[in-house]
Chains A and B, each alone.
Chain A
Amino acid sequence: MTDDTTAADRATEEAGMNTEAVVLTGAEIVCECLLREGVDIVFGYPGGAILPTYDALTKYPQLHHVLTRHEQGASHMADGYARATGKVGVAMATSGPGATNLVTGIATAMMDSSPIVCITGQVPTGAIGTDAFQETDVTGITLPITKHNYLVTSLDELAEVMREAFHIARTGRPGPVLVDIPKDIQNQSTNFVYPTEPVTLPGYKPPRVGRADQVDAALKLIRESRRPIILAGHGISMSNANRELAQLCERAQIPVALTLLGKGAISEQHPMCLGMMGMHGGAEVNHAIQQADLLIALGMRFDDRVTGNLATYARNSRKIHVDIDPSEINKNVNVDVGIVGDLGEVLRQLLDRVERRPNDAWFDRIAEWRADSELREIVRPADAPQHPAVPEGKLLGAQVIRDLFEFTGGNAVTVTDVGQHQMWEAQYYQHERPHSLITSGGLGTMGFGLPAAIGAKMARPDQEVWAIVGDGGFQMTSMELATAVQEQVNVHIAVINNGFLGMVRQWQEFFYEERYNQTPMVNPDFCKLAEAYGIPAARVTERGEIEEAVNRNRALTAGPTLIDFVVEKEEIVFPMVPAGADLDDMIRRPTPEEFERKRRERAAAAEAPEEAAPEPEAPAAAATVGTRFGV
């Protein structure tokens, strides 16, 4: 993350602020502090207890306030803003319901280590604890979902608390910080001088370089390995260690697997990059992890969605884990070498001394696994022979994402919601640059996509931004369409509309005998919904229509746009590691030959039902999917 003091200093200079005492209210001090921290946009929603600060905002035109339609949108937008730039995103809300509505966005930012600062109004200090109107204990509520939080108890400490909040949010392992400010403190005034000393917190010292003996131990393991693999997570891009990662894998000839949030850590076009690991990762990637003799985990946290069954996870490998958070080391997976430090620093320590050597045999094995995966691939160029499982005349969600990748040249910042479309994005949209995929990984927050995309686009107006959302998650926060229109945010929305809560339906198909309880959705006409907001919209039902629709919307640069992609209802995300299964025990799409054979067997069984004894097949899930569309 950027160096704290310089950012603030620069902001001070740019804003032409002096350090002489002036009489300011608490509300003005809040604005003053935001300016000094380099904030340009605040996402929020006014209300009684934060009104003094909203009034003060009128005197600070440099702080652009974005009125959301729900406070959850504000915290997601701040998160999207932060993820797109690495800068701290800011959300503002009133006390009580305003503050509680921020909660989902705060928890989302916490799980994915996203730096945001939330400012909430609180009832006056004298009323705290009396169950006053719109009073809620927001610091209590957000205690476990913030990196740190503050209830400001006197005007004296307000500026210092604001500085600490930004410092804590952006340094070390970034995360959300909440500052709760009682209304009377916003109204009081004082003779204010902005503190100039660096922030010192005795209990907070983010680590930087790794310990030399641990770096030595890591180098020894790398030297001794024959089948090494790097597991790259979100930490790479957050530490701006992308170049170092590329150098390390090239120099030591180590393939790189990515977590979902690790996408963008290294270009997916890079020959060393294998793609995504885990529950819906590539089969060849999961095989490589299970067969490796050394895992080098960089800025990732061995989430259950990437490890599967921990008891059988990469059993024959030694493990190196580099993370800035010491509590991640040996949390889920016991490692041989744990290095605590900033990834950029540690990778540079490793790079100084890592040896160049070939791993050809290892790459050949991975290539064999990949060839098998390619046989099963369902998304192929429109003019190539199609996999027999592709239904005639139907549009697949996976095809939409692949074509979107093609027609945007792979250069868009994509922001997803949560579900099947999110996994297709991860599988079919290849990212080259850091911060180009924004998605809720840890918390899996439906409704994240649209507001986070608005935040991302406002943070990087020069970038093409696509919000890829499902019909379920889109409707959780679609009121933010109004925000996008009011602010004229040029975000392109792609609704992958299958009329189902698709991922839940997939689980019901595999694990609950196709009882699709509460997953079919009756949706509004999304094009008419968009029109109601004055947003240009189109519907796409065939693959041949995708290119024109995408290009048409890309050419619209004024406000938001929308495409309603009506896709196959019961498509499946393959491959899949069932929850708790071994990482290489995947439910896979059959190869064309397997598929044809199953189809013939089923036809034969239908003709002579008596003789076709049900053959015992395992796993049960594979038996189910073998005879259905989606395979």
Chain B
Amino acid sequence: MAKHILAALVENRPGVLARVSNLFRRRSFNIDSLSVGRTQRENISRMTIVMESDTAEADRLVKNLYKLVDVVHVDHLHSQPSVVRDMALVKVSASSDNRREVIQLCDIFRARIIDVSADSLVVEITGEEEKLEHFTELVRPFGIVEMVRTGVIALGRGGHTLKDEGYKPNRGRSSSRRNVL
């Protein structure tokens, strides 16, 4: 069992997230995190999927993702040099008595304070998952009021780019629009 990070380029169509998440449920894949967002290409979104599994299971997920018509490309990012980031917003209890201690911790972790109120701070922290977990452990004694994480996102380093040169936006669909109008 190891941590596997998969990146998938998907066509930006309604329902694509439902298709991918339904696949996880339907074939009993155990997913740690999934994050989705737009890319530099208008029609393409990118998903980062983290799963704890053996390699055979990860391969099985890749093959099944490819069966989805909307999935253009899938890659293992854990098997190549890559940068991996997670982000959290953490609302920590902090009054004037101990605010300074929390700010010190934030400095050490290079976290930013993005909101201050009389009895709490909102901290933005970015890094690998371990760093985020370590940070939350350290601020827990002050009291974590609420928190949210984005889930992992990742990119291959340098020349390790997700190969999508074969991708062409769907000509047919756009031309049909022209024809129909």
Q: Give the shortest distance, in Å, between B74 (CB) and chain A (any CB).
A: 10
Complex CA gap A163/B181 in Å reads 18
Contacts of A195 in B (CB 8 A): 172, 175-176, 179
Query: In this assembly, does A192 line the interface, its C-beta being within 8 Å of a C-beta of chain B?
Result: yes
Query: In this assembly, does B11 line the interface, its C-beta being within 8 Å of a C-beta of chain A?
Result: yes
When the two chains form their complex, are residues B180 and A327 in contact, meaning their CB atoms are under 8 A apart?
A: no
From A139, A147, A156, B180 is in contact (CB under 8 Å) with: A156
Interface residues of A in 183-229 (CB under 8 A from B): 190-193, 195, 197-204
Contacts of A160 in B (CB 8 A): 172-173, 176
Number of A interface residues in the complex (CB < 8 A): 36
Contacts of B59 in A (CB 8 A): 330
8 contacts between A and B (CB under 8 A): A139-B15, A143-B19, A147-B69, A153-B14, A190-B181, A202-B169, A203-B71, A331-B60
Interface residues of A in 306-363 (CB under 8 A from B): 325-327, 329-331
- A139, A199, A201, A327: which has the most chain B beta carbons within 10 Å? A327
Interface residues of B in 34-77 (CB under 8 A from A): 56, 59-60, 63-64, 66-73
Query: In this assembly, does B134 line the interface, its C-beta being within 8 Å of a C-beta of chain A?
Result: no
From B10, B26, B66, A144 is in contact (CB under 8 Å) with: B26
Number of B interface residues in the complex (CB < 8 A): 35
Q: Give the shortest distance, in Å, between A127 (CB) and chain B (any CB).
A: 17
Contacts of A156 in B (CB 8 A): 176-177, 180-181
Complex CA gap A151/B170 in Å reads 17
Chain A, Cβ-Cβ closest to B13 = A150
Query: In this assembly, does A140 line the interface, its C-beta being within 8 Å of a C-beta of chain B?
Result: yes
When the two chains form their complex, are residues A203 and B63 in contact, meaning their CB atoms are under 8 A apart?
A: no
Contacts of A433 in B (CB 8 A): none
Contacts of A199 in B (CB 8 A): 172
Complex CA gap A151/B19 in Å reads 13
Query: In this assembly, does A569 line the interface, its C-beta being within 8 Å of a C-beta of chain B?
Result: no
Complex CA gap A277/B6 in Å reads 39
Q: Give the shortest distance, in Å, between A572 (CB) and chain B (any CB).
A: 35
Known: A202-B11, A202-B166, A202-B168. A192 touches B180 (CB 8 A): yes
Known: A140-B18, A327-B67. A200 touches B172 (CB 8 A): yes
Contacts of A159 in B (CB 8 A): 176, 180
A202-B72, A331-B60 known, 11 other contacts, Cβ within 8 Å:
A148-B69, A156-B176, A156-B177, A160-B172, A191-B180, A198-B172, A203-B10, A203-B66, A203-B68, A203-B72, A326-B63
Query: In this assembly, does B98 line the interface, its C-beta being within 8 Å of a C-beta of chain A?
Result: no
Interface residues of A in 163-196 (CB under 8 A from B): 163-164, 168, 190-193, 195
Chain B, Cβ-Cβ closest to A177 = B69
Chain B, Cβ-Cβ closest to A168 = B69
Chain B, Cβ-Cβ closest to A192 = B180
Binary B-proximity of A413-428 (CB < 8 A = 1, otherwise 0)? 0000000000000000
Known: A143-B19, A202-B167, A327-B66. A193 touches B179 (CB 8 A): yes
Chain B, Cβ-Cβ closest to A201 = B69
From B172, B176, B179, A21 is in contact (CB under 8 Å) with: B179
Contacts of B71 in A (CB 8 A): 203
From B22, B63, B167, B177, A157 is in contact (CB under 8 Å) with: B177
Binary A-proximity of B75-100 (CB < 8 A = 1, otherwise 0)? 00000000000000000000000000
Contacts of A153 in B (CB 8 A): 14
Query: In this assembly, does A232 line the interface, its C-beta being within 8 Å of a C-beta of chain B?
Result: no
When the two chains form their complex, are residues A200 and B171 in contact, meaning their CB atoms are under 8 A apart?
A: yes
Question: Lowest 10 A-B CB distances belong to which pairs?
Answer: A327-B63, A160-B176, A193-B179, A203-B72, A156-B177, A148-B69, A156-B180, A204-B69, A195-B176, A202-B167
Query: In this assembly, does A155 line the interface, its C-beta being within 8 Å of a C-beta of chain B?
Result: yes
Binary A-proximity of B106-149 (CB < 8 A = 1, otherwise 0)? 00000000000000000000000000000000000000000000
Contacts of B14 in A (CB 8 A): 151, 153
Contacts of A143 in B (CB 8 A): 15, 18-19, 22
From A21, A157, A190, A327, B173 is in contact (CB under 8 Å) with: A157
Complex CA gap A200/B175 in Å reads 12
When the two chains form their complex, are residues A325 and B168 in contact, meaning their CB atoms are under 8 A apart?
A: no
Binary B-proximity of A66-110 (CB < 8 A = 1, otherwise 0)? 000000000000000000000000000000000000000000000
From A193, A201, A330, B56 is in contact (CB under 8 Å) with: A330
Q: Give the shortest distance, in Å, between B161 (CB) and chain A (any CB).
A: 17
Chain B, Cβ-Cβ closest to A24 = B180
Chain A, Cβ-Cβ closest to B179 = A193
When the two chains form their complex, are residues B170 and A200 in contact, meaning their CB atoms are under 8 A apart?
A: yes
When the two chains form their complex, are residues A197 and B171 in contact, meaning their CB atoms are under 8 A apart?
A: yes
Chain B, Cβ-Cβ closest to A330 = B56
Contacts of B181 in A (CB 8 A): 156, 190-191
When the two chains form their complex, are residues B69 and A157 in contact, meaning their CB atoms are under 8 A apart?
A: no
Complex CA gap A557/B70 in Å reads 48
Contacts of B56 in A (CB 8 A): 330
Contacts of A330 in B (CB 8 A): 56, 59-60
Complex CA gap A198/B176 in Å reads 12
Q: Give the shortest distance, in Å, between A332 (CB) and chain B (any CB).
A: 11
Contacts of A329 in B (CB 8 A): 63
Q: Give the shortest distance, in Å, between A274 (CB) and chain B (any CB).
A: 31
Q: Give the shortest distance, in Å, between A175 (CB) and chain B (any CB).
A: 10
Complex CA gap A532/B84 in Å reads 71
Contacts of B180 in A (CB 8 A): 155-156, 159, 190-193
Q: Give the shortest distance, in Å, between A415 (CB) and chain B (any CB).
A: 29
Complex CA gap A192/B177 in Å reads 10
